[in-house]
Structure 1
């Protein structure tokens, strides 16, 4: 359900305070807001986010040796075939595509897990929680998507909290790339790729409603160019 978006300027000020605390460069004054006053926000349906988490988890299993036939069988049994994007399908069935880029989705999965309350924090200085795998479908043991959903019992974040974290990662994405271009070492234990993946997930999961927003993008349509 859509709710009024928080004051975008107050959220941005908090994001910039966090960048300053981390010793990161601040974006220029004209750096755009993610939403405008009067906009509304909501999260994608929980079942849709859960399906995306499951597919990303399966993609990672393929990255680390799961046979394609076993992966396709799990998707079929879990009724998730229609949620797989064309690039993902090519990778699942034939290993085609950029293997490294699929491995990086580990951080996107982490951010989506935070959105559903499956992990407690999404600290930009810390890597993916090692215990996250315990909250994912146990594909090797044959746990289907439906059984996994019953086991984890998602508790989605409030849309305003997710939107605030999206704004922070919008700013962090710019700052980490600037640090990388300058040849500096970023704070903490993650790099610009990880921040970009987390932003990707948040951009997809948080739906913005207002006169300047298009319809929510598909997973492969998320725009990270700005």
Structure 2
């Protein structure tokens, strides 16, 4: 009990501190950013073919006897909630500071924060839609998708192909990925700055790396729906 009680004041002190919340945003952002690279690598297996992609999907759902995917989801969801909540809190604090002490730099910082928060909320809405669409399978029940190579398992590859044959779904996906990568290109630079890894000398390199990473993530992810809808891949 004493150890649990001692944890809550520490959490409260971190949250009440501006630096603490910035660190939470940076660290959770780092986890989510690295996850995107792994998620993209797995998704690109759709181009290898049905068997490879379904093997990958099966591995994820049976990792650590089925618990692995839920542990990963819990960690990612926790990071996402903390990231969004801390960002909203910092944005509100910046807005209050702007009203109390208005100058050009503060106004510019506030506008940048507002862009980040609105793009972040749009991304959150997309993530909920994406989970309902492909993870919870609201639109695509397992009974409707059986792997023709192995009828006992779910045809995740077929679900992805089917899902991206709808123009509105693809449009929403591309817009959301554009916002996500805009968020990343600014957020990764801020993350390095918060963690004390950015200096005047390293700033141009970190900016180039952040933008380059965002570009790779954007084109990597949208290559799948565009290939399916526009070029008829898998159909």
TM-score interval, smaller chain: under 0.3
Name which one, 1 or 2, has greater alpha-carbon Rg.
Answer: 2
> Which is helix-richer, 1 or 2?
2
TM-score (norm 1): 0.27
TM-score (norm 2): 0.27
* Structure having greater relative contact order (Cα 8 Å, sep ≥ 6): 1
